[in-house]
């Protein structure tokens, strides 16, 4: 293919690459398009790519870096290995797991079945459990994950990260750590560690990499124990200007024109992690002026915006998206944002 297209070829494993050049391409783009930047000269950036016809990848990198892109063919497996090596996702998380837990925490399978609440509280305060949960969360944030999945299997736990909409295996902790790990997360999210029969929802606020994050925590009882999913919400992303979201100039102008209309409806659609929430909140941030009254109804409220009246759906109390919308019309709003359209009503 390289000969057919007249493109040069690079062997990433043998090339001397400056890590700073690699990092010119954001990690999420490198993962999404399977590309690696490996050489920079003036305004030209050489990009290792497996598919030279992927003009979307080339355009995305050009927009982000502001450089003229020179595509260079490379084997896909070499690109994947280089992404892991240079962005830190090549870390052996199972080895990191062994180092984090070490021999300090020993729980037999039999003992794990009979742990009571007092023992759980004690275990969640032990350093190995604290280190393990911190490792899982910090690595997910570093990898740019949108969600952390901790899933109970018959003989193990499976930790997976959703990156660019795709679930990727991260580590496999031993089954015996399940009670302590899940309880540690529940305590951080102010959930009831004694209740394992019904789903629970909570929230964790933390600071990592000099940024503030909220983790939306959801537990679900399964036949092999409780599963936990944590949605990672970067609070700084809501303060991004629309110009920082990767729109082309024409698309940005069209979006701003539509959003500033005094009437009408805009539907924002896309898969998990595609940027729907960031786009909506960034738009509200731009429209949030003293002469506007903005109401939102969400499930849940993911980010808190100043001067915006945000309503949390509560079906048990009869507050649904539909009933909330009816009430909004009597609140004299200028702008309404609805988090989801779940049914015909």
pLDDT per residue over 2-39, tens digit each? 566 677 888 887 778 888 899 899 887 887 788 999 99
Given a cut of 90, is residue 343 above it in pLDDT? no
pLDDT at 257 over 70: yes
Q: Which fold has domain 93-234?
A: Beta-Lactamase (3.30.450)
Q: How confident is the model at residue 95 (pLDDT cuts 50, 70, 90)?
A: low
Q: How far apart are CA 50 and CA 331, in angstroms?
A: 54
The residue with tokens 């902790």 is 173
What average pLDDT does range 67-80 have in this prediction? Answer: 87
Confidence of residue 240 (pLDDT cuts 50, 70, 90): low
Contact 56, 47 (CB under 8 A): no
Does domain 240-338 sit in CATH 3.40.50.300? Answer: yes
Asked if the peptide bond before residue 35 counts as cis, ω within 30 degrees of 0, the response is no
pTM over 0.75: no
Q: Per-domain residue ranges for the chain?
A: 2-87, 93-234, 240-338
Mean pLDDT of the chain: 82
Whether residue 73 is predicted with pLDDT greater than 80 in this model: the reply is yes
Rounded CA separation 234/303 (Å): 9
> Is pLDDT of 296 > 90?
yes
Query: For the segment 170-219, what is each residue's pLDDT rounded down to a tens digit?
Result: 888 888 888 888 999 999 999 998 888 999 999 898 887 678 888 999 99
Question: Is the model's pLDDT at 109 over the cut of 70?
Answer: no
Closest by CA position to 57, among listed 66, 69, 44: 69
Which residue shows structure tokens 């290995």? 81
User: Does the domain made of 2-87 have the CATH classification 3.40.50.170?
Assistant: no
Asked if the model's pLDDT at residue 112 lies above 50, the reply is no
Q: What is the pLDDT of residue 105?
A: 44
How high is the pLDDT of residue 17? 85
């Amino acid at each position: 293919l390289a000969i057919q297209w007249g493109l040069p070829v690079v062997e990433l494993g043998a090339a001397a690459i400056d890590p700073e050049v690699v990092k010119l391409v954001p990690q999420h783009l490198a993962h999404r398009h399977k590309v690696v930047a490996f050489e920079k000269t003036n305004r030209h950036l050489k990009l290792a790519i497996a598919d030279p016809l992927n003009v979307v990848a080339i355009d995305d990198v050009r927009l982000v870096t502001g450089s003229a892109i020179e595509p260079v063919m490379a084997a896909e497996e070499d690109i994947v290995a280089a992404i892991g090596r240079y962005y830190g996702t090549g870390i052996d998380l199972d080895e990191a797991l062994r180092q984090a837990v070490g021999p300090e925490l020993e729980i037999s399978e039999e003992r794990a079945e009979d742990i009571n609440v007092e023992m759980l509280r004690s275990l969640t305060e032990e350093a190995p459990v604290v280190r393990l949960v911190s490792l899982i969360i910090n690595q997910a944030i570093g990898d740019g994950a949108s969600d952390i999945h901790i899933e109970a299997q018959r003989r193990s736990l499976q930790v997976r990260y959703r990156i660019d909409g795709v679930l990727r295996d991260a580590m496999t902790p031993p089954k015996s750590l399940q009670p302590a790990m899940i309880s540690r997360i529940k305590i951080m999210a102010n959930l009831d560690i004694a209740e394992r029969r019904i789903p629970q929802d909570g929230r964790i606020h933390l600071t990592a990499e000099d940024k503030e994050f909220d983790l939306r925590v959801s537990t679900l009882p399964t036949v092999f124990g409780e599963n936990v999913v944590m949605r990672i919400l970067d609070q700084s992303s809501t303060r991004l200007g629309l110009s920082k979201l990767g729109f082309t100039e024409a698309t940005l102008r069209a979006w701003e024109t539509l959003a500033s209309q005094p009437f009408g409806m805009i539907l924002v659609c896309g898969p998990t992690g595609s940027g729907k929430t960031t786009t909506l909140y960034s738009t509200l941030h731009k429209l949030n002026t003293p002469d506007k009254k903005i109401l939102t109804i969400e499930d849940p409220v993911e980010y808190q915006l100043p001067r915006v009246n945000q309503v949390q759906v509560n079906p048990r109390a009869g507050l649904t998206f539909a009933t909330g919308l009816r009430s909004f019309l009597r609140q004299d709003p200028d702008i309404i944002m609805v988090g989801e359209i779940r049914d015909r009503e």
